[in-house]
Amino acid sequence: MNLIDLGWNQDFEDKLAQTKKRDDFQIARVAIEYKGMYKLYTEAGEVLAEVKGKMRYNNNFPAVGDWVVIDLQDNGARAIIHDILPRKSKFSRKVAGDDTKEQIVAANIDTIFIVTSLNQDFNLRRLERYLTIAWDSGAKPVIVLSKADLCEDPEAKKVEVETVAFGVPIHIVSSLSGEGLNELEEYLETGYTAALLGSSGVGKSTIINQLMGSEKMEVNEIRVSDGRGKHTTTHRELIVLETGGIVIDTPGMREIQLWDGSEGIKESFEDIEALAQRCKFNDCQHDSEPGCAVKKAIEEGELTEERLESYRKLERELLFIERKKKYGTVRAAKLMNKDIFGF
């Protein structure tokens, strides 16, 4: 494989020059993460690898899309990962459950395709959450409205999305008819990487099959009762397209929590952020304060209560995560109760 086809460029070359790399070490990109093992793509082909002991001890593990420094062993049959090059971007979330740990979903991506289907699963509030995390990743978000064939008026849904996704490209696609898929190829030039993210059953694997021109990714039919698809992808995987470009498929996310979305919130809710600048008081909570520009916008129909509540919810969630990192769960919960209830 050609490293340039895998996404290698001068920026990574400069980062490599800053590492302590032996002459016999090589460069690879992480394609699949298994339990304790990784499939890597190198110039010589695919190889299975594991991280060296020091990295494991320091809990320093690569993610799909990472560039790693490796030592090939057993005549190239396996490899040891010695280092991870600094990432230019990463899409991460808090791990599911109570643990306050970061899970990196995909690394070194240029574009994030946020895929949401145009059936009963369509949800603007979930889309706001995805956009918040996407903006914080360092990659550029692109919204893909899938399964257009299951929607009576896709353009009306697109108009709804435009009210929460300012300046974000939006594409309507149908894997059944092929509508809009050629528009996605414009983001997949040679060496460019796009990650597909979205809930289970929104059609990510089907889109990848269409882009590949083959049935590599297993897909399942959606349930008629609720319009939801069955979960198909079970792991994250980097796929190099024959037409150029790279896509990273990810499992559908049943739970997606913020990790570090402060900048992402500002980008996703730039309408509320701009309105807040016009409030009479700098510390306005947009509740009952006089001279609140946000409340005025709601009264005049320029902003919905649901969007303001979504903004507040994500801000509270981010604050709670930051406090958990610093103080632990118990004290973080007490501080949040004090903020909300005054005790």
Residue 277 CB-density burial (10 A; 0-12 exposed, 13-18 middle, 19+ buried) = exposed
Contact 132, 258 (CB under 8 A): yes
Kindly report the backbone phi and psi dihedral angles of residue 209, in degrees, each rounded to the nearest multiple of 5, phi listed first.
Answer: -60, -40
For 38, half-sphere exposure in the C-beta direction (CA atoms, 13 angstrom radius) is 25
- pLDDT at position 226 is 43
C-beta separation of 57 from 51 below 8 A: no
Per-residue H/E/C for 250-315: CCCCCCCECCCCHHHHHHHCHHHHHHHCCCCCCCCCCCCCCCCHHHHHHHCCCCCHHHHHHHHHHH
Cα(187)–Cα(206) distance, integer angstroms = 18
Q: What is the pLDDT of residue 219?
A: 47
Q: Which residue has the tokens 């991870």?
A: 84
Report residue 41 as tokens: 């793509």
Domains of the chain: 10-84 (2.40.50.140), 90-249 (3.40.50.300), 262-341 (1.10.40.50)
Q: The tokens of 179 are what? A: 């509508």
Binding site feature residues? 146-149, 198-206, 279, 284, 286, 292
Among the residue ranges 144-153, 234-243, 299-308, the one predicted with the least confidence is 234-243
Per-residue model confidence (pLDDT) at position 36? 82
Cα–Cα nearest to 204, from 183, 225, 233, 180: 233
Residue 317's pLDDT is 82
Select the more confidently predicted residue: 42 or 94: 42
Q: Which residues contact 231 (CB under 8 A, 6 or more apart)?
A: 200, 201, 251, 252
Q: Could you tell me if 286 and 276 are in contact, meaning their C-beta atoms sit under 8 angstroms apart? A: yes
Q: For residue 94, how many other CB atoms are within 10 A of its CB?
A: 21
Q: Determine the Cα–Cα distance for residues 71 and 80; give it in Å rounded to an integer.
A: 5
Give residue 102's pLDDT band: very low, low, confident or very high (50, 70, 90).
confident
In this prediction, residues 175-192 reach a mean pLDDT of 89
Q: Which residues are known binding-site members for Zn(2+)?
A: 279, 284, 286, 292
Q: How far apart are CA 109 and CA 246, in angstroms?
A: 9
Average pLDDT score over the chain: 85
The pairing of beta strand 26-33 with beta strand 38-42: antiparallel
Q: Give me the pLDDT at residue 324, please.
A: 67
Percent of the chain whose pLDDT exceeds 70: 84
pTM, entire model: 0.84
Mind spelling out the 3-state secondary structure of 141-186?
Answer: EEEEEECHHHCCCHHHHHHHHHCCCCCCCEEECCCCCCCCHHHHHH
Q: Which tokens is 172 given?
A: 């309507």
Residue 98 identity (one-letter amino acid): D
Copy the structure tokens of residue 24: 């016999």
* Per-residue pLDDT at 66: 97
149 touches 176 (CB < 8 A): yes
Is 260 in contact with 326 (CB distance < 8 Å)?
A: no
Residue % of the chain over a pLDDT of 90: 49
Confidence of residue 229 (pLDDT cuts 50, 70, 90): very low
Q: Quick one: average pLDDT of 42-49? A: 93
| pLDDT value of residue 233 | 45
For residues 53 and 42, is the Cβ–Cβ distance under 8 A? Answer: no
Q: What is the mean pLDDT of residues 57-76?
A: 92
111, 194 Cβ separation under 8 angstroms: yes
What tens digit of pLDDT does each residue of 105-146 get?
A: 899 999 999 999 998 778 999 999 889 888 888 899 999 999
3-state helix, strand, coil in the chain (%, to 5): 35, 25, 45
**In terms of pLDDT, which residue wins out, 263 or 124?**
124
Residue numbering of the annotated binding site for GTP: 146-149, 198-206
Biggest CA pair distance of the chain = 73
